[in-house]
Structure 1
Amino acid sequence: MDKISVVLADDHVLVRKGIKAMLESDTEINVVGEASNGAEALQVANALKPNIIILDIRMPEMTGLEAAAKLSEVAPTTKAVILSMHDSEEYVLQALDAGAYGYLLKDTDKNEFVKALKQINAGNKYFSGAVSNVLANRLLKTKPPTRPAAVEDPYNLTRREKEILRMVIDGQHNKQISESFGKSVRTIETHRFNIMKKLGVNNAIDMVNKAVRENLV
């Protein structure tokens, strides 16, 4: 199996080195290039045509968002992932508009980071948990405030899974949900994974969209 080729773009050398070491500890990922600003990132992407380019949102000369928007011109098969300290709605939506396949926070742990890159390489989109909630809330702004009675559930969701799904739809984070049930955050994350698996979706946005569209809760 070919390794997932990755280019890292961040203006802080130590940050790049740390992310590189973390990613290359997985045998399926190979960091093939680095850049210190958005313009350089596009040059490296043009030369190397990596599977994925990870772009820090704030860089000199050209931001990660600007580079993501221009990426298709120089490396149309490369998928952009935005990396940021901020989960603000403005940045997240700008990343989507720029064509990014993912938006990860800088405090994302190794397991989620690696999982995200593998899903993105497979053609799916991936957003950190907190970011998914931002997008879900944005999606729901276009939905009517009242919901009709739920229809028969063809996905065999359990009562607890439906309760968690309703709380996600209402914009609650994993930590809030875990506190409501007196369970660990990891337990809630497992429930969310099982819900997405049953619904046949790969991320929280598609999960919320499908649940609302099909009136599952």
Structure 2
Amino acid sequence: MINVVLADDHVLVRDGIKALLEDQLDITVIDEASNGKEALQVISKNKPDVLIVDIRMPEMNGIEVVAEINKHHKKVKTLVLSMHDSEEYVVQSIQAGADGYLLKGSSKEEFLKAVHKVASGEKYFTGDVSTIIMSNFVNGNVTKKSVAKVEVKTLPFKLTKRERQILELVLELKNNKDIADELNISKRTAEVHRFNLMKKLAVKNLMELTNKAKEFQLI
């Protein structure tokens, strides 16, 4: 069972989300909050699996709430559900530690998929949002000031010089042939290096690789 807390200052929105979620056999809404400070109190009291939070709320906004949860309640997953797809909100949410970002205009199927993905420990970002993240993380253009200072994690990945070169080229969206040509190696060698890099970082796709590279300051 996935235990969810809803945080949104609009009662009608919360009622709609609650009805949708509780129609699912494996999801239950255990509490609600109408502002940021109340959300943190509810989280401390109930320790849910997932917090679904709006950005624009009184007392404390959703991004600040996500940052606080990321500091003090690391087991609680956070899914930002917002009507805003602006680059500023998206980047700040990711910097604060959000596990997912979904627009309120998303379909029922995508919403439920996002809740399940986030609850299982994966990341989920809707299509338009993924484009913003990719653009900022790959090009190193994340210049917006984060709402809260996020502690940078470090892990002993021990990447070789060649793996770092491969990483940079992969994040520039270059394919194996392009990488081989640039590094003057065979395409097969490029494929092997890329496979070893993905395995070492424990990622399955480009989005996960991009997120981890930025999170651990590998680029």
Report TM bin, short chain. 0.5 to 0.7
Counterpart position of 2:26:
28
CA distance in 2 between partners of 1:209 and 1:56 (Å): 22
Query: Could you tell me which of 118, 137, 140 is aligned with 1:139?
Result: 137
* Aligned 8 A contact 1:24 1:30 in 2: yes
- Cα distance between partner residues in 2 of 1:99 and 1:140: 18
TM-superposed CA distance for 1:208, in Å, is: 7.0
Q: How many positions carry a matched residue from both structures?
A: 163
Q: Aligned-pair distance for 1:205?
A: 2.2
1:68 aligns with 2:75: no
What's the TM-score, normalizing by structure 1? Answer: 0.67
* Structure 1 pair 37–205 and aligned structure 2 pair: CA distance change class (3 A): same
**Deviation at 1:10?**
0.3
Query: 1:1-217, aligned counterparts within 5 Å?
Result: 3-142=1-140, 149=178, 152=187, 200-201=204-205, 205-206=207-208
The answer to whether the 8 A contact 1:5-1:52 is kept is yes
Residues 100-130 of structure 1 deviation map (CA, whole Å, 9 limit, x = unaligned): 1111111111111111111111111111111
Q: Which runs of 5+ in 2 are unaligned?
A: 141-167, 181-186, 193-202, 213-219
Q: Percent identity?
A: 47
**Alignment-mate amino acid for residue 34 of structure 1:** E
The one-character-per-residue Cα deviations of 1:186-209 (angstroms, maximum 9, x if unpaired) are xxxxxxxxxxxxx933xx623778
Q: CA offset at residue 150 of structure 1?
A: 5.6
Residue 71 of structure 1 aligns with an amino acid whose one-letter code is I
CA distance 1:19–1:137, shift in 2 (3 Å):
same
Runs (5+) with no aligned partner, structure 1 = 156-198, 211-217
Q: TM-score, normalised by structure 2?
A: 0.66
Equivalent pair of 1:56/1:84 in contact (CA under 8 Å) = yes
Contact 2:70–2:96 (CA under 8 A) maintained in structure 1 = no
